[in-house]
Structure 1
Amino acid sequence: MLARAFQRFADLFPMPSLRAQRLIAFTVILTQAGISVTGAIVRVTASGLGCPTWPQCFPGSFTPMAVAEVPVLHQAVEFGNRMLTFVVTLFAAAVVIAVTRAKRRREVQLYAWLMPGGTVVQAIIGGITVRTGLLWWTVAVHLLASMVMVWLAVLLYAKICEPDDGVQTVRVPKPLRLLTVLSGVLLAATLIAGTLVTGAGPHAGDKSIERQVERLQVEIVTLVHLHAELLVAYLALLVGLAFGLAAIGMNRAIRARLFVLLALVCSQALVGLVQYFTDVPAALVAIHVGGAAACTAATAALWASMRTRESVPAEKREPVTA
């Protein structure tokens, strides 16, 4: 009943072309990745408690107030990041309406619904982060959840680009697909290690004397080495995957995604090295988070390109027998 009611609601909108669906889905990727970067900006500017409560900004007010204890800049940065959540939600809702109006296959609609659902979960995690005074592990979960949303948004884009009446096509042998899965696991481990570095690092999100933010009590050099070694292992797997794909003659789409991913990972490594030897400047933290989102998106795109749906001419389709 609810599905029929929502379909009738979606039918009130113009029929979106495939190009429009792709554009909306691509914007979903950008907004999901973008809000992770603005979240990093909140942290490195020490604006994490610019709005000290949630869902209100201050008790009794959803907007910033003239409060001597909280600088105006910190309020503006944190409140601005919260307002971006509505932009993310808007495009998440738009992609659901678009694929529902176009009556795309159930798989596409499922991935589309994950966007607003995940955004709501992210908002709740953000509220927990504020209410717990920016505990390091809540900040870590917040970032990791953003990376999951970026991954899912890329898969949604890939599913939208596939024809609904297409035939499932495997472009890469199973061993190499499993190697890609393993590289994704190492990417996840690298991201987790990166959040641990953040938890022990200099950018706690709030420098107020009255609010002592609890930090991860582990030597940061140890965590940095763990993070770096996982990144090297991730890169090594990608290089091995590249040789394996070259041996079987990978197609142009897979080759392009793989080269972009390798370039992004190498760039991330360079940014991390500069961060380490320059005492983690704030600007590079935001760049590094954006790079993490880009690597996540590129890995998801590579995975999606290995098994896809392709159109088959009607004369080549197998006849349906009773």
Structure 2
Amino acid sequence: MLYRGFLSLVDRLPLPSLRAQRITALIVILTQGGIAITGSVVRVTASGLGCPTWPQCFPGSFTPVGHGEVAVLHQVVEFGNRLLTFVVVLAAAAIVLAVTRARRRREILVYAWLMPAGTVLQAIIGGITVLAGLVWWTVAIHMLASMLMVWLATVLYAKVGEPDDDAETVQTIPQPLRILTALSGLALAGTLVAGTMVTGAGPHAGDKSIENPVPRLEIEIVSLVHLHAELLIAYLALLVGLSFGLAAVGMSAAIKKRLAVVIALVVAQSLIGLVQYFTGVPEVLVILHVAGAGACTAATAALWAAGRTREKVPSEQSVPTA
């Protein structure tokens, strides 16, 4: 009954074209990945506790107030990042309204509804991170959840572009190679987890309070860097193996393009990581590395989604009678 009422309200909106739906889905990817990047800005500027409470910024106020113990810059950066959550929510709500109004298939509706649900969950995780004093594992969960949202948003974008009616599922990547694609995704996940551990033991805690230092991961950072690098090499090796496999059986231009983009991004991400390590982890490279993580996640998700698509069933042409 409640859902029917929701549908009646949505039906008052203009019917979105397929192009409008795809643009909205693309904006969802950009906002989900973008807030991870602004989160890295918060961390490297030590603004993580610029708003020391949640959901309020300061006790009794949702907005920054003059507070001698917290620098104005830190308040502005952290509060600005919180405000971006509303942009993410608006984009997530827009894709739900667009695909619901267009009466897209159930699969698309499920992915669309995951966007606002995941964004709310991310806001809660962010609140826990602040209340826990930026302890490293809460920051790691926050980052990993963002990457998961980027993956889901990218799959949603791919599915929005597929037809609903008079279509059949086509497996464009053979099953053994599709399994290899999934393994590359798992290697990416392991690389991301190890990367958050490197951050947890590294110099950018998100706050530089001398009185209450942020708890760090007490593991030698060089060992964590090696683990992170080895997982990245495994990820790249699986992608190279996938490339040879697809070249042997043949692949479409779309898959070839996606594969090339993934490999290029992983190589670029590796180079950024190397420069970071040998230059003392400068702030700007941390931000670029987080942006690269989001780009690699989106590109891998796009490759995965391209392995099984829905395509229009060709209409039967009538055979002329003699």
TM > 0.5: yes
The C-alpha deviation readout for 1:259-283, integer Å capped at 9, x for no partner, is 0000000000000000000000000
Give runs of aligned pairs for residues 22-171 of structure 1, distance below 5 A: 22-165=22-165, 166-171=167-172
The residue matched to 2:309 in structure 1 has which SS? strand
> Which whole-Å CA distance do the structure 1 matches of 2:231 and 2:183 have between them?
12
Q: Would you say 1:14 and 2:14 are equivalent positions?
A: yes
Root-mean-square deviation (CA, aligned residues, Å) is 0.7
The C-alpha deviation readout for 1:203-241, integer Å capped at 9, x for no partner, is 000001222100000000000000000000100000000
For 1:173, give the aligned amino acid. P
For 2:2, give the aligned amino acid. L
> Which whole-Å CA distance do the structure 1 matches of 2:266 and 2:312 have between them?
33
Query: Which residue in 2 is equivalent to 1:257?
Result: 258
For 2:228, give the aligned amino acid. H
For 1:79, give the aligned amino acid. F
Greater CA drift, 165-174 or 221-230: 165-174
The C-alpha deviation readout for 1:166-208, integer Å capped at 9, x for no partner, is 1100111110000000000000000000000000000000001
> Which whole-Å CA distance do the structure 2 matches of 1:3 and 1:198 have between them?
43
Q: Would you say 1:172 and 2:183 are equivalent positions?
A: no
For 2:35, give the aligned amino acid. I
Shift of 1:309: 0.0
The residue matched to 1:50 in structure 2 has which SS? coil
> Which whole-Å CA distance do the structure 2 matches of 1:9 and 1:117 have between them?
20
- Relative to the length of structure 2, the TM-score reads 0.97
> Which whole-Å CA distance do the structure 1 matches of 2:213 and 2:111 have between them?
40
> Which whole-Å CA distance do the structure 2 matches of 1:231 and 1:249 have between them?
26
Structure 1 runs of 4+ with >3 Å offset:
none
> Which whole-Å CA distance do the structure 1 matches of 2:193 and 2:100 have between them?
35
- Relative to the length of structure 1, the TM-score reads 0.97
For 1:168, give the aligned amino acid. T
Query: Which residue in 1 is equivalent to 2:246?
Result: 245
The C-alpha deviation readout for 1:268-310, integer Å capped at 9, x for no partner, is 0000000000000000001000000000000000000010000
For 2:277, give the aligned amino acid. Y
> Which whole-Å CA distance do the structure 2 matches of 1:21 and 1:43 have between them?
34
Query: Which residue in 2 is equivalent to 1:320?
Result: none
Shift of 1:314: 2.7
Give runs of aligned pairs for residues 280-299 of structure 1, distance below 5 A: 280-299=281-300
> Which whole-Å CA distance do the structure 2 matches of 1:179 and 1:88 have between them?
32
> Which whole-Å CA distance do the structure 1 matches of 2:172 and 2:3 have between them?
34
For 2:244, give the aligned amino acid. F
> Which whole-Å CA distance do the structure 2 matches of 1:275 and 1:8 have between them?
53
The residue matched to 1:301 in structure 2 has which SS? helix
The C-alpha deviation readout for 1:108-137, integer Å capped at 9, x for no partner, is 000000000000000000000000000100
For 1:190, give the aligned amino acid. T
Which blocks of at least 5 consecutive residues in structure 2 are unaligned? 318-322
> Which whole-Å CA distance do the structure 1 matches of 2:238 and 2:207 have between them?
38
> Which whole-Å CA distance do the structure 2 matches of 1:167 and 1:259 have between them?
27
For 2:192, give the aligned amino acid. L
The residue matched to 2:67 in structure 1 has which SS? coil
The C-alpha deviation readout for 1:52-79, integer Å capped at 9, x for no partner, is 0000000000000100100000000000
> Which whole-Å CA distance do the structure 2 matches of 1:202 and 1:231 have between them?
21
The residue matched to 1:315 in structure 2 has which SS? coil
Shift of 1:4: 1.0
The C-alpha deviation readout for 1:92-112, integer Å capped at 9, x for no partner, is 000000000000001100000
Give runs of aligned pairs for residues 202-213 of structure 1, distance below 5 A: 202-213=203-214
The C-alpha deviation readout for 1:2-55, integer Å capped at 9, x for no partner, is 221111111121000000000000000000000000000000000000000000
For 2:21, give the aligned amino acid. Q
Give runs of aligned pairs for residues 188-207 of structure 1, distance below 5 A: 188-207=189-208
Query: Which residue in 1 is equivalent to 2:320?
Result: none
> Which whole-Å CA distance do the structure 1 matches of 2:192 and 2:18 have between them?
33
For 2:246, give the aligned amino acid. L
> Which whole-Å CA distance do the structure 1 matches of 2:174 and 2:303 have between them?
14
Query: Which residue in 2 is equivalent to 1:319?
Result: none
The residue matched to 1:168 in structure 2 has which SS? strand
